[in-house]
Amino acid sequence: MPLLRAPLLAILVSMALCQYYDYDYQPPPMIGLGPSGPNCNQECDCPINFPTAMYCDDRNLKFVPVVPTGIKYLYLQNNQIEEIKAGVFDNVTADLRWLILDHNQITNAKVAKGTIDKLTGLEKLFFSFNNLTEPVIPPSKTLEELKMTNNKMTKFPSGLLNDKENLTSVNLQFNQLSNEAITGAFKGLKKLLSLDVSHNKLKKLPAGVPSSVEILYADYNDIDSIGAGYLNKLPSLQYLRMSHNKLVDSGIPGGALNVSSLVELDLSFNKLKSIPEINEHLEQLYLQANEINKIDIASFCKTTGPLNYSRLKHLRLDANNVTHLNLPLDAGNCLRQASDIMFE
């Protein structure tokens, strides 16, 4: 496997295993943790065989405990934490690498100054399933992964991520973000591979997405159109999902989706009446639950010949107004690699 493809594969496996969030390191069962080392908060566990990790998850904690010197990985998920008090991270401002705060009750007003805003070495910040109304971003330039799903965020101020040159994955799904709220939010991200803004209040695909992005998910929004030339600004994009939106034929200009980098395209559960023009290199196309009433082979192949044919392998057309009888006679030549065309 080429080394450059490894980060993308890791992200895809992560998304496949868990739809919304996961941890790259899953703490072992409590039975296997063994005795804690001497450098540990009394409310948590710091296994001797993994002394740089402190497990404080599932403890019914109301606030973040003081983190001792030497801790790099801090697990605080599944508590009742409402507050992050000043000073709790003073011993690890440059050393803490992972901070997991998922499934708590934290609000912006209860995140004291001098806490997260002092973490200069953080690589992963998981802050999902809380009550944030805007992001809490550390100053760390080494941040690689940011997950703030299932909050109440209505804004993401421009410039917060400007210096995050190592950030590869941003998950913001299940919030209340509009296009105006995320204007300029992704500026400066030179290595971003994956962006998920599903389940928000977007009316169009987000502006300013870095050209490095390979995965863009925008399912469950109110998007009714795709700007002409939008995908041309994303030459690395391979996976685009826009299911459960309000896309109509007139909202997709000719050729808007005909880009050679795309491998998977999901336009299911929209209001399309015809199949949009796609590139011959696309392999997965999901169009189920639209209002499609015709199949034009030109949507897949401009011309057909020994070297000119669609690489499409899977095509879903179920829950539309077409059947296999609507397939043109020359469909077999164009769609010669399609092993699965689903009508029902």
What pLDDT was estimated at residue 33? 56
Whether 2 shows a pLDDT value over 50: the answer reads no
**Please, which residues have CB within 8 angstroms of residue 295's CB and are 6 or more apart in sequence?**
275, 317, 322, 326, 327, 328, 331
| Average pLDDT over every residue of 240-269 | 98
Q: What are phi and psi of 12, to 5 degrees?
A: -65, -40
What pLDDT was estimated at residue 304? 86
CB-count exposure of residue 178 (10 Å: 0-12, 13-18, 19+): middle
What pLDDT was estimated at residue 307? 87
**In the beta sheet, which residues pair with residue 127?**
none
| Average pLDDT over every residue of 271-295 | 98
pLDDT tens per residue, range 134-174: 999 999 999 999 999 999 999 999 999 999 999 999 999 99
What type of residue is 216? Answer: L
pTM, 2 dp? 0.90
Whether 3 shows a pLDDT value over 70: the answer reads no
What pLDDT was estimated at residue 305? 86
pLDDT tens per residue, range 182-223: 999 999 899 999 999 999 999 999 999 999 999 999 999 999
pLDDT tens per residue, range 8-51: 444 444 444 443 344 444 444 444 455 676 789 999 999 999 99
Of residues 27 and 296, which shows the higher confidence score?
296
The rounded Cα 56 to chain-centroid distance in angstroms is 26
Whether 313 shows a pLDDT value over 80: the answer reads yes
d(CA 158, CA 28): 39
pLDDT tens per residue, range 43-99: 999 999 999 999 999 999 999 999 999 999 999 999 999 999 999 999 999 999 999
| C-beta of residue 76 within 8 angstroms of C-beta of residue 53 | no
Helix (H) / strand (E) containing 331: helix 331-334
Q: Determine how many CB atoms are found less than 10 A away from the CB of residue 67.
A: 25
d(CA 70, CA 53): 9
First vs last Cα of the chain: how many Å apart?
A: 36
| Average pLDDT over every residue of 307-333 | 95
Instruction: Report in angstroms the alpha-carbon separations of 318 from 100, 149, 154, 234.
Output: 40, 31, 36, 30
